[in-house]
Amino acid sequence: MRVLLLDFGMELRGGQRQVYYLARALARSADIEPLTACPGDGKLAALLRDEGLPLLALPGRSPANPFLYARLDRMLDGRRVDIVHTHDANAATFGAVYKLLHGGAVRLIHSRRVSYPLKPGLRSWKYRMADAVVGVSREIADGMIRAGIPASRVSAVHSGIDPDRYRPRAERSGGPFLFQSIGAFTPQKGYGVLVRAMAELRGRALPPWRVRIVGDGPLFGPIREEAQALGVAGLLDLPGRRDSVDMLPDGDALVVPSVDGEGSSGAIKEGWVTGVPVICSDLVSNQELVRGEENGLLAAAGDPVSLAGVMERCLLDADLRCRLVEAGSRSVLDFTDRRMADRYMALYRELMR
């Protein structure tokens, strides 16, 4: 069986890393040959080259470019593709057109990674073209069913992480308690809520604490300005974009204050595998991972007062932190890259039958 993985992202964010994990696992299987088609100048292509994984380096990423389809066929050089599996919105459009061009010879799978509503109509046609549609959370899968995708074609496969990439949390002998948040500075990540929660905490009698937000993006400047306006800039570190592998072990707790659009949070799983207690908003998708008071703490999404209260509990209660870390280390075993890949391979085999 030959599977063509399609991703048109230029950065190496969560979705692209999932494609890499899947390509790596398929390459180790006995009956599946993976090919990954992605922009040749993107970071996913560079990672695949470094790992020696099969790569079709595309000269563009627009599904409206008719020459891209012909170029891909030339790259395949007569090799039959059984399944096309797309991993982002542009790739989904490309994959749907590719299937139209090749008729029933190709089976098509789309993975959707965001929980924004998929409106029935023109935007969902590419998903209706698919033989199978996968949401990376049950919430996303249910949303696609509501948008008119037949339930028999829809399933949920949570994204995974590679536990071997991470080192355990480092014991710290001193300094303030460090809350960390890691991700792109975009509206759905909720960093404005976190900064306002810091303002709430500042007026309380607490042991020393700080917050570090790791990442970059369009809201980097506005978040820094909001922290200054609220008088908490001196408690906030903004080191820019760094690899979570390097940053997480130096913190005391992970905060995931997302307000919208969350799929299957990689940050939560990274906190679990690193051994730090996890605090997150109570979005439906987050609650598919976090059981409140067991393997994480939940705060009301978009509510800085609620978030400040949960952060205070975590800061003050060492026994609670230990319980959360122990449960998290068990929970992450269900969300590894291997578990994710096994579920996709089972889906591939089912489609081919």
In terms of Cα–Cα distance, which of 143, 133, 59, 41 is closest to 95? 133
Neighbours of 246 (CB within 10 A): 11
With residue 269 as reference, give the H or E element that holds it. helix 266-274
What is the token pair recorded at 188? 């759905």
Rounded Cα–Cα distance for residues 226 and 206 (Å): 22
* pLDDT (0 to 100) of residue 173: 77
Rounded Cα–Cα distance for residues 165 and 54 (Å): 22
CATH number, span 163-334: 3.40.50.2000
2-160+336-352 shares its CATH topology with 163-334: yes
Query: Strand 236-240's sheet: what is its strand order?
Result: 236-240, 209-214, 177-182, 253-256, 278-281, 297-299
Beta bridge partners of 233: none
Task: For the chain, give the number of residues.
Answer: 353
* pLDDT (0 to 100) of residue 120: 67
Beta bridge partners of 181: 213
* pLDDT (0 to 100) of residue 262: 85
Helix (H, G, I), strand (E, B) or coil at 240: strand
What is the token pair recorded at 274? 């690193």
* pLDDT (0 to 100) of residue 122: 59
In terms of Cα–Cα distance, which of 190, 161, 239, 204 is closest to 315? 204
What is the token pair recorded at 261? 């659009």
> Cα Rg for the chain, rounded, in angstroms?
21
* pLDDT (0 to 100) of residue 121: 66
* pLDDT (0 to 100) of residue 118: 81
CB 312 within 8 A of CB 276: no
Q: Which CATH architecture best describes the domain 2-160+336-352? A: 3-Layer(aba) Sandwich (3.40)
Beta bridge partners of 336: 161
Query: Strand 33-39's sheet: what is its strand order?
Result: 55-58, 33-39, 2-6, 83-86, 107-112, 132-135, 154-156
For residue 41, the Cα-to-chain-centroid distance in whole angstroms is 22
Q: pLDDT of 58-114, one tens digit each?
A: 999 999 999 999 999 999 998 999 999 999 999 999 999 999 998 778 999 999 998
From residue 232, give the alpha-carbon distance in Å to each of 198, 209, 229: 7, 11, 8
Phi, psi of 48 (to 5 degrees): -65, -40
Q: Which residues of the chain have pLDDT under 50?
A: none
Rounded Cα–Cα distance for residues 226 and 241 (Å): 19
* pLDDT (0 to 100) of residue 71: 95
Q: Where are the domains of the chain?
A: 2-160+336-352, 163-334
Rounded Cα–Cα distance for residues 130 and 25 (Å): 23
